[in-house]
Homo-oligomer: A and B are copies of this chain.
């Protein structure tokens, strides 16, 4: 049996499953202090012995090859977790090998192994929610540079009709600053869910997401681009994003079927935990 932990900033999901992606049992609890949270992790895996563990963690996290602090949470605004050696603690407490990646990379891995990206050579998973992040799986492996990507922070051209300055404290009008859930709320003073019928809101949202996807596409050339996360529950965004993406690309690179390129996830919010299983199975 393989263990999985989706270690999110708000909640932890623990699961056990098989390499084929079947989940046998799972549990979820709020993320509190490291000690309290990891005690609950230990209790779950005490009932479910595992051979190895895959973890998808909130960030920033140290994934620098060869670093002595590999697998440590870095300068997060969640103070109790700042510089917490998550991977090392899990290895010590559970006495199994641990493979760790970011939450978005494991989501990408899940969709690549068991979901909509199953037969693709490369798979980019973008989550659009409280923040925006993206993870790439290329030829079955997590893409990993010097450290993990921070793709939500690409800089965008402002829409001429958008007076909002952007909500990212570091970059203002980067993708996350213009298009994450809190940016929508800050721009209109109303939560995104209550703006469902305001087409102009989603036209603007699609404009920014399409621009970022254009950048990801010319840089990474992924075969599948999967858009998930809370904001993407507005399903009308998908056709809007596809249309604007094709306009921006302007036939510069041939796209045979944009509906097969830019897609919704297939795993019903289980891509993260299933991706952890896949990550551990491959390690």
Contacts and interface: CB of A to CB of B under 8 A. Distances in A.
Interface of A: 60, 65, 121-122, 138, 143-158, 170-171, 173, 211, 214-216, 218-223, 248-253
A170 B251 contact: yes
Contacts of A220: 145, 149, 219
Contacts of A249: 170
A138 B149 contact: no
27 contacts: A65-B121, A121-B145, A121-B146, A122-B145, A122-B146, A138-B143, A138-B145, A145-B220, A145-B221, A145-B222, A145-B223, A146-B221, A148-B221, A149-B220, A150-B218, A150-B221, A153-B252, A154-B154, A154-B218, A155-B157, A155-B211, A157-B158, A170-B252, A215-B215, A215-B219, A216-B219, A219-B219
Nearest to A63: B221
Contacts of A146: 121-122, 221-223
A71 to B, nearest CB: 17
B154 A157 contact: no
Nearest to A211: B155
Contacts of A148: 221
Contacts of A154: 154, 214-215, 218-219
A222 B145 CA distance: 6
The 7 closest A-B pairs by CB, nearest first: A145-B221, A170-B252, A150-B218, A146-B223, A170-B250, A153-B218, A146-B221
Contacts of A150: 218, 221, 252-253
B248 A155 contact: yes
Nearest to A154: B215
Nearest to A120: B146
A138 B139 CA distance: 13
Contacts of A155: 156-157, 211, 214-215, 248
A80 to B, nearest CB: 21
Contacts of A253: 60, 147, 150
B145 A173 contact: no
A64 to B, nearest CB: 9
Contacts of A248: 155, 171
A143 B216 CA distance: 14
Contacts of A147: 221, 253
Contact of A149 (B143, B171, B221): B221
A150 B155 CA distance: 17
A155 B65 CA distance: 31
Given A60-B253, A155-B157, 10 more contacts: A121-B145, A122-B145, A146-B221, A149-B218, A149-B221, A150-B218, A153-B252, A155-B248, A170-B252, A171-B252
